[in-house]
Structure 1
Amino acid sequence: MLFIRPIQSKDFQALLQMSVESGVGFTSLPVDEPLLREKINHSIKSFAGDAKTAGDQSYLMVAEDSETGEVVGTTAIDASVGLASPFYTYHLGKVVHASKSLDVYNVVDTLTLTNDYTGVSELCTLFLRESHREGVNGRLLSKVRFLFMAQHKHRFDDIVIAEMRGVSDEQGSSPFWEWLQEHFFSVDFPTADYLTGVGKKEFIAELMPKYPIYVSLLSKEAQAVIGEVHEKTRPALRLLEAEGFDKHGYVDIFDAGPTVQSSFSRIKSIRNSRLLKVIIGNIEKGEDQLVSNTKVEDFRACCAKVISDEFEQTIIIDAHTAAILQVNEGDELRCGALRHDEHE
């Protein structure tokens, strides 16, 4: 069984290996040992802190195999982006060029550099090693964040976003970036992606065009990938769309992958989660559900067979699940569905 817990210092090697495996375009997990150690330390402090509001906290978690002890995945939430360093996005807009005397009316799509998402919460750093990409493991890694957020709402903003990985090939070449590189940057996509991942974003402000870019001036290849996701990211996008996330015209400044957004209260897994009192017993015919304890620093979550009683406000779990979640009889668990009903 996989369970989710806050990252610890001992997980450094596993996180480093996952950063290598994640490849180019996975900006939030760069192959940089000092930065990864700083990410771990920052997360440990965030989980240990008594935050009253969303701030510069980052909650980085890992998926551990309860049988082998192997760390096989990671997932995270940034409480407020853009506070320590600028958070850049392109916004897709329109400009009208019209002349009544000439009977001309042209609508032109534009890309404008913005910091519009400064201060919002971000879902990020979702990665599962290929050896465990089966069953509900990917769904657990993604949706567990919503259980944590539902339990500790005051730690997050009213707006939640997720940047989706854009189109690039196996060599790390991005059609969108190739056009920007040719005209403005003169550095390749892997280099730009790495510099951003390690927090060296000064070059963006220094070299990025200051005025809106006319989309029609981009290469056909670059235009075709604006707002599109990497093929390996499609399942993650579908899952977030099912939660209530949608596109608002913002795309990544390097690969043009879409940023999806939802209000906190609109996210289905947050809205539909509930607190139930624990009963430890034997389960023969249970229902698979996402379950988590209500702690912060000792947060634990997993997918388990349970018997829930909405009327009695109780949930029956077995002793093994109780041990993994570090709960006792009478404690509370936050529970959520693995999949949503289409009519919710």
Structure 2
Amino acid sequence: MLIVRAARTSDIDDLVRLAGEAGTGFTSLAVPADVLAERLEKSEAAFRAPDPGQTEDTYQLMLEDTETGRIVGCSAIKAMVGVSKPYWDFKIITLAQHSSEADRRFDMDAMLLVNDFAGSSEVGTLFVSEAGRGTGAGRLVAQSRYLMIAADRSRFGDRVLAELRGVVKEDGSSPFFDAVSRPFFRMDFDDADRLSAATDNQFILDLGPQHLIYLDLLPQEVRDVIGKPHEQGEGAYNLLLWEGFHYDRYVDIFDGGPLVSTWTENVRTLRESREVTVKAASGPGNAEGILSTDRFPDFRTCQVSAIGDGDVLGVSNDIMQALDLREGDKARFWRRKR
């Protein structure tokens, strides 16, 4: 059985291993082991904090195979971005060009460095190892984040965003970075990626472009990858669109990957989920979906085949044990529609 649960400090070895498997361009995991360890410590404290309201904490989630105890994936939610640490992106805007004398009228696209998402929550760090793929694990991890937001809306912003990895070649180079960002930052892609993940991003304000960057001045191969997700992220991108996120021409400043966003209340999994009371039951289920504990600090979810379609939901003893639920406990259920 696969469960998604709140991360613990003891998960550090597994998180370091997953970071190594994720490879180049996975910004949120492109940090040293001590930074990942600190992240787990802060996440564990954030989960235990009683009703803190919205903070800048990051809640780390781990995907665990309960039969082997092996961690096969991870994800996270940053409760608030862009406040003490600016959340820089390029916004693509369209400029109208017109001259009566030259008899010319056309539009030109340009990129501008912005911090438009201050106060929003960010879902990210979604990664599933080879051992966990092909089982619906990626979808479970992704949707679990929205069930966690539903468990305590006061901890999260009115908008939620996701930034996807952009196109990176097999040799680890980024066409977008080489043409757009490298001239400003004068460092390799990996160095910029790590610095962005591990610092307050003041270096972006210090060194980043202060003026518009016209897309028509870029090589065609670079324009072709702007706003495009990495091939390994296409599934995640499509799932975000299914959840109600949309691309509004914001892109990552290093690899040109797309940023998508939506109002938190419009996220499909959150909107369609409901509170239920659980009881132990056996037999074939008639309701497939995801069940969460709907509580902090011991947040957990797993896929279930439940019995019932009202306010009371019957689940197996194995599910009750895996989620640490008792007869009569409140939980949250998202039902998969056929």
Q: TM-score range by the shorter chain?
A: over 0.9
In the TM superposition, what is the alpha-carbon distance from 1:335 to its structure 2 partner?
0.4
Q: Is the 8 A contact 1:93 1:112 kept in 2?
A: yes
Secondary structure (helix, strand or coil) at the match of 1:85 reads coil
In the TM superposition, what is the alpha-carbon distance from 1:307 to its structure 2 partner?
1.0
In the TM superposition, what is the alpha-carbon distance from 1:190 to its structure 2 partner?
1.4
Task: Report the counterpart of residue 331 of structure 1 in structure 2.
Answer: 329
Q: Is the 8 A contact 2:147 2:294 kept in 1?
A: no
Task: Report the counterpart of residue 231 of structure 1 in structure 2.
Answer: 231
Moved more, 119-128 or 285-294: 285-294
- Unmatched 5+ stretches in structure 2: none
Alignment of 1:45 with 2:45, yes or no, is: yes
Q: Is the 8 A contact 2:181 2:253 kept in 1?
A: no
Alignment of 1:243 with 2:243, yes or no, is: yes
Alignment of 1:235-314 (within 5 A): 235-310=235-310, 313-314=311-312
Q: Taking structure 1 as reference, are residues 209 and 187 closer, same or farther at Cα in structure 2, changes over 3 Å only? A: same
Partner amino acid, structure 2, of 1:236: A
Partner amino acid, structure 2, of 1:211: H
In the TM superposition, what is the alpha-carbon distance from 1:328 to its structure 2 partner?
0.8
Distance 1:32 1:101 in 2: 58
1:126-169 deviations in Å (ceiling 9; x for gaps): 11111110221111010011111112111111101000110001
Secondary structure (helix, strand or coil) at the match of 1:294 reads coil
In the TM superposition, what is the alpha-carbon distance from 1:283 to its structure 2 partner?
2.3
In the TM superposition, what is the alpha-carbon distance from 1:186 to its structure 2 partner?
2.4
Task: Report the counterpart of residue 169 of structure 2 in structure 1.
Answer: 169
Distance 1:69 1:45 in 2: 23
Secondary structure (helix, strand or coil) at the match of 1:25 reads coil
Distance 1:136 1:334 in 2: 19
Task: Report the counterpart of residue 187 of structure 2 in structure 1.
Answer: 187
Moved more, 13-22 or 180-189: 180-189
In the TM superposition, what is the alpha-carbon distance from 1:182 to its structure 2 partner?
5.0
1:96-143 deviations in Å (ceiling 9; x for gaps): 232223322231100000011111000011111111102211110100
Distance 2:209 2:161 in 1: 25
Task: Report the counterpart of residue 56 of structure 1 in structure 2.
Answer: 56
Task: Report the counterpart of residue 81 of structure 2 in structure 1.
Answer: 81
Partner amino acid, structure 1, of 2:152: H
Q: Is the 8 A contact 1:20 1:31 kept in 2?
A: no
Task: Report the counterpart of residue 101 of structure 2 in structure 1.
Answer: 101
Q: Taking structure 1 as reference, are residues 201 and 285 closer, same or farther at Cα in structure 2, changes over 3 Å only? A: closer
- Unmatched 5+ stretches in structure 1: none
Partner amino acid, structure 2, of 1:111: M
Partner amino acid, structure 1, of 2:54: A
Partner amino acid, structure 1, of 2:121: S
Task: Report the counterpart of residue 321 of structure 1 in structure 2.
Answer: 319
In the TM superposition, what is the alpha-carbon distance from 1:52 to its structure 2 partner?
4.4
In the TM superposition, what is the alpha-carbon distance from 1:80 to its structure 2 partner?
0.4
Distance 1:9 1:249 in 2: 37
Q: Is the 8 A contact 1:123 1:160 kept in 2?
A: yes
Aligned length: 338
Q: Is the 8 A contact 2:287 2:335 kept in 1?
A: no
Secondary structure (helix, strand or coil) at the match of 1:42 reads helix
Distance 2:62 2:89 in 1: 27
Distance 1:80 1:51 in 2: 15
Q: Is the 8 A contact 1:283 1:316 kept in 2?
A: no
Partner amino acid, structure 1, of 2:323: L
Q: Is the 8 A contact 1:167 1:174 kept in 2?
A: yes
Secondary structure (helix, strand or coil) at the match of 1:308 reads coil
RMSD: 1.4
1:20-78 deviations in Å (ceiling 9; x for gaps): 11111111112401210111111111111124432212110101111111111111111
Distance 1:306 1:136 in 2: 17
Moved more, 289-298 or 200-209: 200-209
1:278-308 deviations in Å (ceiling 9; x for gaps): 1112123443310011221111110121112
Alignment TM-score, normalising by the size of structure 2: 0.96
In the TM superposition, what is the alpha-carbon distance from 1:319 to its structure 2 partner?
0.8
Q: Is the 8 A contact 1:283 1:305 kept in 2?
A: no
Distance 2:238 2:300 in 1: 25
Q: Is the 8 A contact 2:284 2:307 kept in 1?
A: no
Partner amino acid, structure 2, of 1:59: Y
1:219-259 deviations in Å (ceiling 9; x for gaps): 21111101101000000011111111110110000111110
Moved more, 227-236 or 217-226: 217-226
Task: Report the counterpart of residue 136 of structure 1 in structure 2.
Answer: 136
Q: Is the 8 A contact 1:181 1:188 kept in 2?
A: no
Alignment of 1:123 with 2:123, yes or no, is: yes
